[in-house]
Amino acid sequence: MGDLFSNVCAEASHFVKYSKTNAREVVLKVLEALLVDARQKEEGIIAGVDPEFLHKYRVRLRKARSLLALLKGVFPKEKTLEWKKKLGDFCRSTNALRDWDVYCSAREELEAFVPSFARFGLDVFFEDLAKSRHIEASKVSSFLKSSKYRKGMLSLEKEWQLALALEKSTSSSLPISEVAGGAIAESFRTIRKFYTRISVRASDATIHRIRIECKKMRYLLESFSGFFPDHDLAGITRHLTQVQNRLGRYNDHSIQRVHLIGVVKKNMRSENEWLILALGCLIGGLHHEQAILKKKALSALEDFCSRKNAQLVDALEK
pLDDT digits (tens, 9 = 90+) for 294-311: 999 999 999 999 999 999
Q: What is the pLDDT of residue 1?
A: 41
pLDDT value, residue 236 = 92
**Which CATH number is 150's domain given?**
1.40.20.10
Among 165, 185, 205, the domain boundary falls at 165
Contacts of 303 (CB under 8 A, 6+ apart): 239
The answer on 216 and 117 residing in a single domain is no
Do 217 and 254 lie in one domain? The reply is yes
Do both 180 and 286 map to the same domain? yes
Looking at the structure, do residues 131 and 223 belong to the same domain, yes or no? no
> How far lies 248's CA from each of 242, 244, 309, in Å?
10, 6, 22
What pLDDT score does 17 carry?
53
pLDDT exceeds cutoff 50 at 19: no
Q: Is the pLDDT score of 192 beyond 70?
A: yes
Of 165, 191, 222, the domain-final residue: 165
Same domain? 77 vs 199: no
Question: Are residues 313 and 199 located together in one domain of the fold?
Answer: yes
Q: Return d(Cα 98, Cα 171) in angstroms, integer.
A: 35
Q: Is 170 contained in some domain?
A: no
Residue 96 belongs to some domain of the structure: yes
Residues 224, 297 within the same domain: yes
Whether 179 and 71 have beta carbons less than 8 Å apart is answered as yes
**Alpha-carbon separation of residue 141 from 50, 90, 100, 134, 227 (angstroms):** 13, 13, 15, 11, 38
Number of domains in the chain: 2
pLDDT digits (tens, 9 = 90+) for 28-86: 999 999 999 999 999 999 999 899 999 999 999 999 999 999 999 999 999 999 999 99
> What residues make up the domain containing 306?
175-318
Coil, helix or strand for 172? coil
Rounded CA-CA distance 99/256 in Å is: 9
Name every residue whose Cβ is closer than 8 Å to that of residue 227 and which is 6 or more positions away in sequence. Answer: 12, 13, 16, 17, 26, 176, 177, 180
94, 186: one domain: no
Structure confidence at residue 178 (pLDDT): 93
Quote the CA–CA distance of 44 and 39 in Å, as a whole number.
10
In this predicted model, what pLDDT tens digit does every residue of 129-179 receive, in sequence order?
Answer: 999 999 999 999 999 999 999 999 999 999 999 999 999 999 999 999 999
Name the percent of the chain lying above pLDDT 90. 82
- Is residue 207 located within the same domain as residue 189? yes
- Looking at the structure, tell me whether residues 99 and 180 fall in a common domain: no
Using the 8-state DSSP alphabet, how is residue 168 labeled? Answer: P
- Residue pair 95/88 in contact (Cβ under 8 Å)? The answer is no
pLDDT band with cut points at 50, 70 and 90 for residue 5: low
Last residue of one domain, picked from the residues 165, 185, 203: 165
